[in-house]
Amino acid sequence: MEDNKIKIPGELALLVIVLINSFGVVLMLYSGSGISAISSVPYAFSEIIPAVSLGTWTYIFQGILILSLFILKRKFVTQYLLSFVVGFIFGECVDLHELWINILPENIYLRVIYFIISYIIISFGIALSNRCKMPIIPTDLFPREVSSITGINYSKIKIPFDVICLGITALTTFIFLHDIRGLGIGTVLAAFSMGKAISLIGIFLDKHFVFVRYINAGDIRNKLHQPCVKYNYKKEKSTKIYR
Tally of CA atoms within 13 A in the half-sphere of 243 that contains its CB: 10
Give yes or no for residue 69 having a pLDDT over 90: yes
Let me know: does 35 contact 173? Beta carbons within 8 Å: no
- 31 C-beta neighbours (distance < 10 Å), count: 23
Give yes or no for residue 99 having a pLDDT over 70: yes
Q: What is the pLDDT, as a whole number, of residue 163?
A: 86
Q: What is the pLDDT, as a whole number, of residue 193?
A: 86
Let me know: does 62 contact 87? Beta carbons within 8 Å: yes
- 178 C-beta neighbours (distance < 10 Å), count: 7
Q: What is the pLDDT, as a whole number, of residue 231?
A: 40
Let me know: does 103 contact 12? Beta carbons within 8 Å: no
3 pLDDT band (50/70/90 cuts)?
low
Average pLDDT over residues 140-146: 90
Q: What is the pLDDT, as a whole number, of residue 121?
A: 95
Most confident of 132-136, 170-174, 187-191, 223-227: 170-174
Average pLDDT over residues 224-243: 43
Q: What is the pLDDT, as a whole number, of residue 194?
A: 86
Average pLDDT over residues 194-206: 91
